[in-house]
Structure 1
Amino acid sequence: MRTERKLQMQRGFGFFTWVAFLLWSFSSTLVRASRGYDPELLDAVVHEYANKTLQDPRTGVVYNISLPANFSGIEVSIVRLRSSSFWVRGSNLTPFQIPPRIIPMPFSKRLAILSENLKNWSSNYYQVPGYRLVSPVVGFMVLDASNSSGIGNQQLNLRANGNPILVSFSPAELELRTSKLSMRCVEFGPHGSVSFSNMTSLNGCVARSQGHFALVIPAPAPPQKKKEARFWKWWVIGFTGGFMVLVSVSLIVFGAYKAVKRQRIKEMEKESEKGVSFDTVWIGSSKMPSASTIRTQPILEANEHVP
């Protein structure tokens, strides 16, 4: 009996685990569908492949990083510098011009500047509500490189108190059909934050710290067809989600019903064992008690008053 109960508990646990996994998978799919690509995950991939590429790197040499085929088109480069040289000369790593007299915090003997140009992947990773990108998204981050064999995981902060950091875009990368008067610089910060600034006279932006940058223009109002397509897209997602939730709840209710039914049958069997012993018969898929067909034979009692 204990072995059977243990097997039933294991089956019940496995069933509820499967339902939980199903719900988690579905919710993750909806989150990915609503948020699109994850820029933080991209930065982690770039950092990983930069470490693989840099095997005993030389200070001051710019290295191009090759990413996997599914990130084809994204350009990544890295340069490793001494902090003393960075303080005196700054750095000119396309498309970023970092002026001198900037101290990385916390202080590190050597640092690495990792530059990204997302090219045609820009709109997949970064969107600005009400605006449209007219340039690729470019970004850079500064990492600790005290270890001579590669770059570390600690990200350093740059604060330009004097001349700002210049972010330039080549004319070939811009949609020149748009008016420069309507272009604005946008900086993508952590946790999806966005800040705007005016564009410089040289098709660029100014920055005070590391991050990701692009040029945008106000987006025209979407036509009615696009609104309808968006409505149907979210309707399909909602219908699919409701159907999956309904299926999951039905499975949970069915499993609970089967568990209660098995428990009732066990209680009936225990009660029958305490009383008179009955035979059992199977009716369908249920085991039921059955009384014996042999009954006590009637016996006429003798009466002395009967002649």
Structure 2
Amino acid sequence: MEFLIKSCVRYPHTGKLYNLSLPANFSGMEASFLRIRSAKFWLGGVNFSSVYIPPLVVPMPYVKRIAIVYENLGNWSSVYYQVSNYRLVAPVIGFLAYDSSSSAVGTQKINFLTQGDSIVIQFPHIDVQEGEIPKCVEFGPDGSFWIKNMTGANECHTHGEGHFSLVVPSPITPTPTPTPTPRATRKNSEKWRKGLIAGIFGLILLGLVMIGMYKLVRRRQLRAMEKQSEKGVGFDTFWVGSSKMPSAAMTRTQPYLEQAEYAP
């Protein structure tokens, strides 16, 4: 927009519409400029390019002259403006107003206050398919946007300056699931085989650990029993193989003859 404002300095005449010359790298974009007295603007409004501003529109703040800069972004529209989940079907058209009291275009921005009919933006060329119903979109200066239904054929109504276009919902294409290639299938088979071998090895290792723990617990139990037995009656011990067994001293009962009290 800055280079458009600088281009307006060469056209100081009031009440005349000028088509601005743009650099070659902006081919496909159109811009124009109009300088008008505020009193005439309020009484008769303006109708230029694709914008119609009706009478009784008050510039805020009030100035003696205003400059209206119009632009049609053409094939540059989607570069500067995008709408999530929507597709632009018309070029972005914008118009902004500036204080023009002391120069062709000043630095103070002017807002519009409508008191009667709304401002109309027309879109002569739109790109829609059968069954698509366009909607109006208004872009804010900070990247925000507002979508509303159209109130006329290929036109949008507004109550202030800005940038506008037409959009239709953009279908969301689901992401296709990739078909596994033979190489990918082979890799999956190798991964499955390696996982199976690792699982079997893990089970064997777990079994060995459990057997070792069982033997260790059993050995501790035997030692506890031996200690407990040693606290009771003292027994000698002897080894049978690798096991330590208790033994008692064998005492043979001495035989004796019973004597009867009465002899025969």
Using the size of structure 2 for normalisation, the TM-score is: 0.64
Matched, 1:107 2:62: yes
Matched, 1:127 2:87: no
Give the letter for the 1:183 counterpart: P
Structure 1 residue corresponding to 2:127, chosen from 154, 175, 179: 175
User: Would the aligned equivalents of 2:35 and 2:100 in 1 still touch at CA under 8 Å?
Assistant: yes
Matched, 1:224 2:175: yes
How far apart, in 1, do the equivalents of 2:127 and 2:158 lie? 22
Deviations 1:139-169 (A, max 9, x none): 000111102x521111101011321000111
User: Would the aligned equivalents of 2:85 and 2:170 in 1 still touch at CA under 8 Å?
Assistant: yes
How far apart, in 1, do the equivalents of 2:167 and 2:130 lie? 10
How far apart, in 1, do the equivalents of 2:43 and 2:140 lie? 28
Matched, 1:47 2:2: no
Match of residue 233 from structure 1: none
How far apart, in 1, do the equivalents of 2:14 and 2:94 lie? 21
How far apart, in 1, do the equivalents of 2:5 and 2:27 lie? 16
How far apart, in 1, do the equivalents of 2:92 and 2:161 lie? 13
After the TM superposition, which residues 88-107 of structure 1 pair with which residues of structure 2 at under 5 Å, given as runs? 88-107=43-62
Q: Higher helix proportion, which one?
A: 1
Give the letter for the 1:113 counterpart: I
How far apart, in 2, do the equivalents of 1:90 and 1:198 lie? 25
How far apart, in 1, do the equivalents of 2:47 and 2:6 lie? 23
| Structure 1 consecutive aligned stretches of length 4 or more whose deviation exceeds 4 Å | none
How far apart, in 1, do the equivalents of 2:22 and 2:71 lie? 11
Q: Mind listing any 5+ residue stretches in structure 2 that lack a counterpart?
A: 177-264
How far apart, in 1, do the equivalents of 2:135 and 2:130 lie? 12
Matched, 1:200 2:154: no
Deviations 1:51-106 (A, max 9, x none): 3x32xx22111001111111111100011100000010001022111011111011
Question: 1:97 aligns to what SS in structure 2?
Answer: strand
After the TM superposition, which residues 1-307 of structure 1 pair with which residues of structure 2 at under 5 Å, given as runs? 43-51=1-9, 53-54=10-11, 57-147=12-102, 149-170=103-124, 173-179=125-131, 182-222=133-173, 224=175
How far apart, in 2, do the equivalents of 1:177 and 1:81 lie? 40
Q: Mind listing any 5+ residue stretches in structure 1 that lack a counterpart?
A: 1-42, 226-307
Following superposition, the deviation at residue 124 of structure 1 comes to 0.3
Give the letter for the 2:137 counterpart: V
How far apart, in 2, do the equivalents of 1:136 and 1:96 lie? 13
Match of residue 24 from structure 1: none
Deviations 1:185-240 (A, max 9, x none): 00001211101111122210001100000000000114538xxxxxxxxxxxxxxx
How far apart, in 1, do the equivalents of 2:121 and 2:74 lie? 15
Larger Rg belongs to: 2
Calculate percent identity across the aligned residue pairs: 46
How far apart, in 2, do the equivalents of 1:79 and 1:65 lie? 10
Match of residue 304 from structure 1: none
Following superposition, the deviation at residue 178 of structure 1 comes to 4.4
Give the letter for the 2:123 counterpart: F
What count of residue pairs does the alignment treat as equivalent?
176
Question: 2:94 aligns to what SS in structure 1?
Answer: strand
Deviations 1:283-303 (A, max 9, x none): xxxxxxxxxxxxxxxxxxxxx
How far apart, in 1, do the equivalents of 2:167 and 2:131 lie? 11
CA distance 1:68–1:160, change in 2 (3 Å): same
Using the size of structure 1 for normalisation, the TM-score is: 0.55
How far apart, in 1, do the equivalents of 2:105 and 2:134 lie? 36
| Cα RMSD, aligned residues only | 1.5
Deviations 1:115-144 (A, max 9, x none): 000000000000000000000000000111
CA distance 1:93–1:47, change in 2 (3 Å): same
Deviations 1:264-289 (A, max 9, x none): xxxxxxxxxxxxxxxxxxxxxxxxxx
